[in-house]
Structure 1
Amino acid sequence: MDFPTIHTNFWDAVISVPVVMILTQLIKLFLKVPRKFVPTIALVLGLCISIFIAHRHSFIAGIFMGWFYGYAAIGSYASLKTTIQAYRNEKE
């Protein structure tokens, strides 16, 4: 089995992860989703965006990159939240 060639473009590098983060936060805000389901929502959004929009030419590439979109959004959010909390605690 050959692995698919995945070309990283502007969408992958700059737009997809913030879009997943924003959509996840909007869903969390408007639908009152329990906190334990938020990472799963980010992963599903990342997979959907990748499979149906960014990499619709290759299902395998869509799954591969969607996994990265979702988990990059989860990690970026966690990192941002930790940084803000540390900054607030430092000021006190």
Structure 2
Amino acid sequence: MTEFPTIHTNIWDSLWAVPVIIVLTEILKRVLPIRPQYISTIATSIGLIISIFISHPHNLAAGIFMGFFYSGAAIGSYSSIKTSLMAYRNRA
């Protein structure tokens, strides 16, 4: 039976990677004409690039695995913030 790889990550990687993904995605949305359905793909690509090349440069499996977590956290955080702001603005 094959064992799962041990992935060593640091909490600081996710604390800076998630806001960076959100900010870069927002910048790209404002600079380039990007359709809304491609925003999550762009965030995932940015998360994978950050994770593979910066956070886990010597372990491709860990980079891919954590890249999806970073981008998922960024997409979820953005969605939560957007929903909360819309609800706050629409309350009577």
Q: TM-score, structure 2 length as denominator?
A: 0.91
Q: Which runs of 5+ in 2 are unaligned?
A: none
Amino acid at match of 1:8: T
- The separation in 1 between residues aligned to 2:40 and 2:51, in whole angstroms, is 16
Task: Provide the residue aligned with 2:57 in structure 1.
Answer: 56
C-alpha deviation, 1:89, in angstroms: 1.2
- Contact in 2 for aligned 1:11/1:54 (Cα 8 Å): no
Q: CA deviation at 1:83?
A: 0.4
TM-score normalised by L of structure 1? 0.91
Post-superposition, which runs of at least 4 consecutive aligned residues in structure 1 deviate over 3 A? none
2:67 corresponds to which letter in structure 1? G
Is contact 2:47–2:67 with CA below 8 Å preserved after alignment? yes
What is the aligned partner in structure 2 of residue 24 from structure 1? 25
User: Shift of residue 63 of structure 1?
Assistant: 0.3
Root-mean-square deviation (CA, aligned residues, Å) is 1.2
Aligned partner of 1:40 in structure 2 is 41
Structure-1 separation of matches of 2:68 and 2:35: 21
**Structure 1 spans left out of the alignment, 5+ residues:** none
Q: How many equivalent pairs are there?
A: 91
